[in-house]
Amino acid sequence: MKPAFAWLVALFGCTPPSRALPVVASVGGSAEGGSSGGCDDASALWVDNVAGDNAAAGTEAAPVADLDAALARGDGCAQIRLVATGTGYAGACILRDDVTILGVGGRPRIDAPVVCDERLVGLFVRASHVRLEHLEIDISANVGVEARAVVFSGTPMSTIADAHAIDVLALGPGATASGRALMSSSLCSGCSFERCTVRDAEGAGIDFQNHQDDITIAGNTIQRAGAGCIGVNGEPAAAQVGDDVLDGISRGVHIVDNRLEACGGDPAIHLASVREAEVIGNVVAGAPSGALLLDDDGVGEAEFASYDALVAHNTFDCRDCESPAIRVRSGTGNHIVDNIVLGAIVAADVDGAEVAFDHNAYEPEASFVHDGEGASWAQWRDLGFDVATLVTPTAGFFVDADGGDYHLVATALAIDAGVDVGVTHDLDGTARPQGAAVDLGAYEFIDDG
């Protein structure tokens, strides 16, 4: 157990999860030509859809013309350099292991999705050890046909691992009735979406479904998602007794340093049947269905509850929330600490769960719900929640909340008001703490004098 959590044990008699925070991956070298995967530079296959020829050698001087031609070369490790030409590429189905696709000369655009496993996708991955980096995948013209930008897709008989989308710009058609996630993953362990920009998804921005362990969603900007911005669901309704793959639970989920704006019909971050999650350093602005939901996906069984989550140093702007900002529907060992909740009518709703709240900041007008019953501030604290939390107008904490700038101003009461839970940096990468103690929310205040 980390010493920083001693106060939680003293207050609540519970031991929080003890695990290291993830580091956002830096895949290989630069996106302008450095190494990016397990192949050496000399073996790179070059693709140029203006100057290339599929009968060519595939070198920088003699590139092939499309991704399919590059993927068909050999059967070992493939490092593919996709050249930005200003002309859109067709997508591809990646069905072999050890593939890197790295954009060079700018950010190449893939704008013609292809059908893989009966799904219309920009890049489809059913393989392990895959990197997709510094690309644009634009499916905005594909309205109402359930197109997706990136799909990592294992199967119950053949799961996959170590697939990563890094610095990908994914553009969707906007919210539609079909509601497919723009970037999704299923049965893929050790996989991640990092430093991506995801805009105008039909459904969720980034979505992980089914059993997936050790997954990371970090450093992304997700804007205007038709459903929630981030979803991770172990799919307990589809669990098979005794099946280690389809057990209905995801373990080791890292949701760190994301900016989420205008999330649609589901909570901005929804974790269902998840164990040992870290929701740290995120900013949520514009989430009618609330900022965060931890639950069992409605199956009503303790086995599939969400346990041992650390929710820390987030800034949740809930002035537009029609649902509670933070909802915990089941599970034990969940810790909600060092967060700022701006403008929520109902700041927190706990039902059938054992959870620790403290060292947060809420509005004086905020109310609470516990096991279906409304609670005032005094009643909430009498239940043991938020004993050391700030109750103060939070709008004055920020440089320009209306303009989306949630950095703290020098007079913010959130400065030095937090407790150390092992978070070493803020959303900008600034070291914590800068003062006598850590600050609440996603950003650490820097005193420039």
**C-alpha distance from residue 55 to each of 63, 66, 76, 177, 268 (Å):** 9, 11, 19, 43, 47
* Rounded-to-integer distance, Cα 417 and Cα 411, Å: 12
Residue 271 in this model has a pLDDT that exceeds 50: yes
Q: How many CB atoms lie within 10 A of CB 420?
A: 16
Residue 28 in this model has a pLDDT that exceeds 70: no
* Rounded-to-integer distance, Cα 97 and Cα 273, Å: 29
**C-alpha distance from residue 164 to each of 145, 193, 246, 304, 399 (Å):** 25, 6, 22, 27, 34
Q: Mind listing the pLDDT tens digit for each residue in 89-100?
A: 999 999 999 999
Closest CA to 132 of 158, 182, 94, 96: 94
Residue 80 in this model has a pLDDT that exceeds 70: yes
Stated as kind and residue range, the H or E segment containing 328 is strand 326-328
* Rounded-to-integer distance, Cα 14 and Cα 353, Å: 13
Residue 6 in this model has a pLDDT that exceeds 90: no
Q: Which of 35-39, 150-154, 262-266, 371-375 has the highest mean pLDDT?
A: 150-154
The mean per-residue pLDDT over the stretch 390-412 comes to 95
Residue 267, preceding peptide bond in cis (omega within 30° of 0): no
Q: Mind listing the pLDDT tens digit for each residue in 164-219?
A: 999 999 999 998 877 899 999 999 999 999 999 999 999 999 999 988 899 999 99
Domain locations along the chain: 93-408
Look up residue 401 and give its two tokens: 């909340």
**C-alpha distance from residue 341 to each of 153, 280, 313 (Å):** 35, 14, 11
Choosing among 2.160.20, 3.30.160, 2.40.128, 2.170.270, the CATH entry for 93-408 is: 2.160.20
The mean predicted confidence, pLDDT, of the chain is 88
Helices (H), 197-315: none
Q: What is the pLDDT of residue 352?
A: 80
